[in-house]
Every structure is written in structure tokens, then in C-alpha cells.
Amino acid sequence: MSAKLTTYEKYQPTNLPWLPQIPGHWTLLRNKTVLKECKTTVGEKSSEYTLLSLTVNGVIVRDIESGKGKFPKDFGNYKVVEKDDIIFCLFDLDETPRTVGLSRFDGMITGAYDVFKIQGIIKRYLYYYYLSLDNVKALKPLYTGLRKVINVPVFLGAKLPVPPHEEQEQIVRYLDSQTSKIKRFIKAKKKQIAFLKEQRVAEINHAATKGVNTAVKMKPSYVNWLGDIPEHWEVVQSKRLFTQRKEKAHSDDVQLTASQKYGIIEQGEFMRLVGRRVTVVLKGSDILKHVDLNDFLSLACVAFKAAWSIVKFGDVSVQPML
């Protein structure tokens, strides 16, 4: 899908850990040359501003009236954002799915983020450059502390490659064109993927509750949501299959997230996939339970230790599916 790109005749070293060399005719400038930090907060005028959010899909407008998500009691410390400002999240960089966004809107965003005006460089070129670094979390050499923070002075002192203005325009046009093609391709495939997902769910539901032999006789299960089951199956109480785990989380346990879409995965990976941050429970809290490999988690996020005995359904042996 991508066009063939040509190489340049000469290259020069950059001394940047994430970008060893650049074309010989490009220059290196410090971020502070092209970025001007904006610290203005909305104060008591928050009702006059549109609430924005930084996501994997870019900077989006959030609907406060919908009640979806969490909102602070007071927006006074939120920062003012104007169209074409660039926004960075310079903390928890590895855990945050997207740490850079170019705003298409006027509004306000959490004061925890850093907002900058762009000057002397094509805005979308700068955005694409930092998006490429964010995709691979390339700024690790600038991290400090357990929260993986990049201090603003350090960030502004870092260098970035700057092509000639005309070449910046060419790069932006090329990337806009390629990303547009990819978006159209994704959109065309979404319907097909949705159909396959529905088919997958239907197949699993039927096989797990009715079996794979369509010729067998059926009988009532007397379970409202289950309906009829094969005549030679039995209905047993769940307590015969599980013992509740009450072991508290270990100090080195990785926090997990349970979701219908992705199953049981690491919380950091979940945030990357959904493109938003979730509340992280402090380790050591009594509400955290230890989970072993092959444990079963209920929808209430209570960890259970799966019984390893085989459950007999007539002449069919079924091991609990975890």
C-alpha cells in the first residue's frame, strides 16, 4: 500500500538515541525553537470551554452531558487549548496509549498535560514526527523517576530534525495520503470483521451450550438463559467446579484488566488497545487479589481458582474452559 521511497545521497549523524542519522541537508533544532509552552488555565470560566481529551484517535471533544467517564468536580486548573496547539502527556509514557496530539478544536484539557504553540515549522510535520516516536515509545532516554516523566525543560532542550519547508510539505502530503488510504481500507473491512465476530460468538454459544452433534435429542435444562441441552448432559452447580481464591496480591504482581472484548490482559496493554487511561489501583490495596495462570475470573472481577477435576456430562467429559 505504501509507495516506494527513495534514499538521499548524503546523511549526517544526529547523536540522538532514537534517530541515528538524517539527510545531509536537514537541520537539527531544539524543541524550544519551535514550541512555546502555554500555561493559561480556564479558571472560573470553564463553562465557556469545550472539554477535550487526548486519545489514540487524536484530540477529541468529550461530551460532559453524556455522563460517560469520570470528570473532576472543578475544571479550574484545566489548560486552555486553541486550534493547532500540540498537546503532550509527558508522564507515564509507556503506559499511556497516546502521548501526543494536534488539536483541531478550541477548548480545555487536563492541567496534567503540556500544551504548546507551534512556530516556524509546519504543524503537521512536527506532529507526525512525534507521533512516529510515540508509536515505539522512543523517548525512553529522557525518562526520569518511577512515573517515567520527561521534565518540560528537558523536553524543550531535546533536538528534532527539520527538513526544508518545501520538503516538510511533501512529507505531510504523503503521510496524509497514505493514512487516508489506510483509514478507507479499515472502514471497508470493519463490516466484514463485525460479521465474522457475530458468527464466532454464535458458533461458540451453540457448541458450548448445545454441543456439536445436531442429531442428538434435547431436554429442558430448567435454566432460563440456557434453554434446552442434549439429553445426555447434566446441569451441575458452579460451586462444584470452583473454589474462591482469597490470596492477596503479591508485591510483584502485574495489574490485570478483565474485559469482554480482550479477555484478561495486562492493564497497560488494555489502555493501549482502547486508547484511554483507566484508574490504576495502588498496589498493596486489600481489594487486589493474586491471580495464577489458568485461574477463572468472574464478571465481578473476583478471582477464583479453577478445580482441575473433570466434569462429567453423561458420556461426554468436559474440562472447564478457562
Residue 318 has pLDDT above 70, yes or no: no
Q: Which residue has the higher pLDDT, 301 or 129?
A: 129
The answer to whether position 317 is within a domain reads no
Q: Model confidence at 70, in pLDDT bands (50, 70, 90)?
A: confident
Does residue 231 lie in a domain region? no
Residue type, 43: G
Q: Are residues 61 and 186 in the same domain?
A: no
Q: Choose among 262, 252, 237, 241: nearest CA to 291.
A: 252
My answer on whether 195 and 113 are in the same domain is no
> Among 99-103, 119-123, 201-205, 314-318, which stretch is predicted with the lowest mean pLDDT?
314-318
Q: Does 142 lie in the same domain as 126? A: yes
Looking at the structure, do residues 52 and 73 belong to the same domain, yes or no? yes
96 within 8 A of 277, measured Cβ to Cβ: yes
* CATH number of residue 114's parent domain: 3.90.220.20
Contact by Cβ (8 Å): 82, 118:
no
Determine, yes or no, domain membership for 155: yes
| Same structural domain, 145 and 73 | yes
Query: Is the domain of 85 the same as that of 31?
Result: yes
* Statement to judge: residues 106 and 90 lie in one domain: yes
Spatial contact of 152 and 32, defined as CB atoms under 8 Å apart: no
Shared-domain flag, residues 112 and 35: yes
- The answer to whether 264 and 256 have CB atoms below 8 angstroms apart is yes
Evaluate whether residue 152 is within a structural domain: yes
> Structurally, how many domains does the chain consist of?
3
Which distant-in-sequence residues (6+ apart) come within 8 Å of 287 by Cβ? 281
pLDDT confidence of 83, banded at 50, 70, 90?
A: very high
pLDDT over threshold 90, residue 283: no
Alpha carbon distance 273, 278 (integer Å): 12
| 142/76 same-domain check | yes
Range of the domain at 15: 11-163
Same domain, 111 and 188: no
Same domain, 19 and 61: yes
The end-to-end CA distance of the chain, in Å, is 39
